Amino acid sequence: MRVLMAGIIGRYPLGGVTWCSLMYLLGLRALGHEVFYIENTGECPYDPVRNTISTDSSAACRYIHDALAAFDLGERWTYVDYLGAYVGQSRARVAEYCAGADLFIDLSGGAWFWRDEYARIPRKIFIDSDPAFTQMAIAKGERWYVDFFRGFDDLFTFGQNIGAPDCAIPPTPFTWKTTYQPVVTDLWTTDVVPRDRFTTVMTWRIKSFGDGNKDREFARFFDLARRTTQPIELAISGPRDLLASHGWTTVDAMHVSRDLWAYRDYLQHSKAEFSVAKHTYVATRSGWFSDRTECYLAAGRPVVVQDTGFSRNLPTGEGLMPFETLEQALAAIDAINADYARHSRAARAVAREFFDASVVLRKLLADLS
C-alpha cells in the first residue's frame, strides 16, 4: 500500500510531536507499506527558540528533514508554507505520488485543505488526537470545518470511550472509530539506568483549549510534592515559580523537547512518570491516553497518570497506575517504589500488547471502511 501521511512536525518542531508522526511512518513502513510525509496546515510554524510564531519556515523545514533523514526518509517529505510554497519535494512530485497512493492519513490536522491530489486518493482518514476538543469544535457548526470532515471515508479518535453512556464528548454528524497512538517499542530501550526521579513533560496552558487545560487539574494536586519523599521533576512550559512555591522541582520543557533525541533521552532516564491530564479529557471521561505516557511505558518506566476513563480499556495496577485523587496518586507512587522491577516489566508488557505500532496499525488498517 502507498500511504500519504500529513502531520505537524514543522508546525510544532518539538520532540514529542515529532515522535507522534514519525512512529506512524516507521510503523507503516515496517508493515511493508510505502510512506511519504506532507505538512499543509496553512499555519505559520512555532519557533521554540524565540517562543513565537514565525513566518520564516526554514528552521521548521530543516527540523523536518533532520528528523526524517535519521530514519532514511530524508527525501520523502514536503512542507507547504502558509503562502503555498513547497519545500522538500515539489508539488509535481507530490501530485505524482498521490496519483498512485492508496491511503491518505491526516493526523491532528496536518492538512486543512482538500487539494485535488489528496481528494482523489481512494481512502482518506482523519486521526483525532484531541478528543472532545475536536467534537466540540464540530458541534459549533462552522460550515468549512464540518465540510472538511465530510471529505474523509473514516474518522478515528483517541477518545476510546466516545459513545459510552458516561462519556460527555458531544455528538457530531459523524461516526468515530477508536485508535491509539502507535509506538515503535524497539526504539525505546530499557537498558538505560534511570535517575531517581519521576518526571513528565507538560504544557501548563494552551490558549486554544480555553479552560480545558492541565492547569485546572493540576491545582487539585499542588500538595503532592510535599507529601511524598519521592523526587518528582516537571519539565514544564508554564509557571515554574508558582510550582516551586508548592515544593515542585521544575526544568524547562523546551530544553528537553528540543528534538526527538533529547525528548527520548529525558523519558528513558526517568524512573517513572507522574502526570495529570487536560481538564476536558478528564471531565468528559473521554478515555484518552497520552502518547507521551505510552513512550514511558515502552521504555519500561511505570506511570502514575490521572484517569480519563482509560482504566476501563487498559490493564491497571502493575506498571500502569491510574489515579483520581491525591491519596490514590501517593499510594501508586509508594507501590511502584516498593517493587520497582515488577512494575517496570509490567509497563513494558502493557506497551507491547496495546500500543506497539504493529498492533495499533494493523487494527487501524483492518478498521478502514
Integer CA distances (angstroms), 12 to 16, 214, 349, in order:
9, 19, 30
- Mean pLDDT, rounded, for 147-159: 98
Looking at per-residue pLDDT, the higher value among 78 and 191 belongs to 78
- How much of the chain, in percent, has pLDDT values that exceed 90? 96
C-alpha span between 216 and 286 (Å, rounded): 17
Q: Would you state the pLDDT for residue 51?
A: 86
Per-residue pLDDT reduced to its tens digit, 211-265: 899 999 999 999 999 999 999 999 999 999 999 999 999 999 999 999 999 999 9
Q: Rounded to 5 degrees, what angle do the CA atoms 65, 209, 212 make?
A: 130
Distance between CA atoms of residues 16 and 38, nearest Å: 18
Phi/psi for 286 (5° steps) reads: -70, -25
Q: Which three cell numbers stand for residue 264?
A: 527520548
pLDDT tops 90 at residue 6: yes
Decide: 294 and 356 in contact? Cβ < 8 Å.
no
What does 266-317 look like in DSSP terms, one character per residue?
HHHTSSEEEE---HHHHHTT-----HHHHHHHHTT--EEEE-SSGGGTS--S
Q: Domains in the chain, ordered, with CATH?
A: 2-182+356-366 (3.40.50), 185-355 (3.40.50.2000)
pLDDT tens, residue by residue, 38-60: 999 999 999 998 889 999 999 99
| Contact in structure between 287 and 312 (CB atoms under 8 Å) | yes
Q: What is the pTM of this model?
A: 0.97
Amino acid at position 109, single letter: G
Angle at 37 between CA 33 and CA 42, to 5 degrees: 150
Which residues pair with residue 108 across a beta bridge? none
